[in-house]
Amino acid sequence: MKSAYDLLVVGGGPGGAIAARTAAEKGLSVCLVEKRPAIGAPVRCAEGIGKEALAEFVEPEPCWISAEMGRAELVAPNGTSLILESNIAGSKVGYVLDRKVFDRYLVAQAADAGSDVMVKTRAVAPLIKDGAVHGAILEQYGKRTPVEADVVIAADGIESKFSRWCGIDTSVPAKEMMSCAQYLMTGLDIDGHTTVFYFGNKIAPEGYVWIFPKGDGTANVGVGISGKKSGNGHRAIDYLDRFVNSHLPGGKIIELVVGGVPVCKPLPCSVSDGLMIIGDAARVVDPLTGGGIYNAMFTGRLAALTTVKAISMGNVSKQVLMEYDRGWRDAKLGKDLTRNLRFKEYFISLPDKQLNTLAESAATINLENFSTLTLIQELMKRNPTIVAGLAKLKLSIV
């Protein structure tokens, strides 16, 4: 590790890895630090990602693809099931990754491109020079070392502490934090190419249960519920245990992960002088699905390209780095985040009875020639009273 770099990336998840790889490929001196001893472990993710989304960043490699998904099944509270083939399911079908291998692969690409990588190395405080972020104090095996950098990219995930230390409020209200628990299960009798989602206020209040197959009868089986619904006997793990006992009694649990997903608005501003914030740390997770791998990689690449430009101009002020903030907000990603937050607010307000009615109505539609949009429009036509709230969103859907 050198004492100064062009770019310091804090966090070795998919966002940090793509940022480090992109900047190193463009010739910057880059250091990526990860507080855990191993990149990618433990996994706190259901590991699903759309094929097209992934292809924007990396060629698919069999070593980190656990399974390929061809369709999605949505199950309403009363058991009504809706099968969505890939033409309509969009990003809900694609790959189920092996993130232990995937994250490591991306960081290895960053290293191959010339980035230094330090594991078991934690950023513990920012270095501030003339009011601007100018590196960080790094701690490895109890020893603290200051490392200077023209720009720091905070890719430190859900905790998002680095930006907080720089004076940016990254707190998430409990009601906008999805509390999740997930088992890796084996011995399951499931369709290995279908992702399954269960909805309902009894099964997962303001959230859902997922089954993401990983091949050979194994799957990530998880539940996400609104943080405000969590309590004694009603934690995500309690809902998960109830689901597994009733729906997958023959399966064996071989791993447990718990974690949070910020399903809130993105940070009002994702930059300051010398600092850019990406991925979960910037709260750019899709509030409807909880998916954040793509969004982390997208913002990571954009932040790296902005760093390259700012350094070539010799100006890493907030004013120049704002190009990154405007860039992701104006992109499809930013617009999707705004729209999906409104969708989420609408869907979590629906009682189970109305979810059942919508599912029963959709089940009678021949979905072959439908897209997500035309399906929603058809449901609006058939259920005008239930979807009155959704109708208000029509402009943003189209």
Ligand X SMILES: Cc1cc2nc3c(=O)[nH]c(=O)nc-3n(C[C@H](O)[C@H](O)[C@H](O)COP(=O)(O)OP(=O)(O)OC[C@H]3O[C@@H](n4cnc5c(N)ncnc54)[C@H](O)[C@@H]3O)c2cc1C
Nearer CB in complex with ligand X: 262/357? 262
Task: Please tell me the distance from the alpha carbon of residue 240 to that of residue 252, in angstroms, as a whole number.
Answer: 13
Nearer CB in complex with ligand X: 54/88? 54
| Cα separation values, 93 from 72, 156, 211, 370, Å | 6, 27, 12, 16
Task: In angstroms, give the least distance from the CB of 27 to ligand X.
Answer: 23
Report angle CA 15, 16, 22 to the nearest 5 degrees.
90
Cis peptide before 42 (omega within 30 of 0): yes
Task: In angstroms, give the least distance from the CB of 36 to ligand X.
Answer: 5
Task: In angstroms, give the least distance from the CB of 37 to ligand X.
Answer: 10
Task: In angstroms, give the least distance from the CB of 388 to ligand X.
Answer: 31
Task: In angstroms, give the least distance from the CB of 346 to ligand X.
Answer: 22
Nearer CB in complex with ligand X: 100/339? 100
Contact 191, 174 (CB under 8 A): no
Task: Please tell me the distance from the alpha carbon of residue 150 to that of residue 158, in angstroms, as a whole number.
Answer: 24
| Among candidate residues 269, 379, 374, the one with its CA nearest the CA of residue 322 | 269
Nearer CB in complex with ligand X: 88/277? 277
Nearer CB in complex with ligand X: 266/292? 292
Nearer CB in complex with ligand X: 15/287? 15
Task: In angstroms, give the least distance from the CB of 155 to ligand X.
Answer: 5
Task: In angstroms, give the least distance from the CB of 330 to ligand X.
Answer: 20
Structure-block tokens of residue 263: 């399903």
End-to-end Cα separation, the chain, in angstroms: 50
Q: What are the residues binding ligand X (CB under 6 A)?
A: 10-16, 33-36, 44-49, 122-123, 155-159, 161-162, 180, 182, 222, 259, 261, 279-281, 285, 290-294, 296
Nearer CB in complex with ligand X: 284/386? 284
| Cα separation values, 172 from 43, 283, 286, Å | 22, 9, 15
For the stretch 360-363, contacts whose Cβ atoms lie closer than 8 Å and that sit 24 or more positions apart, written own/partner, are 360/76, 360/80, 362/82, 363/80, 363/81, 363/82
Longest dimension (CA), the chain: 65
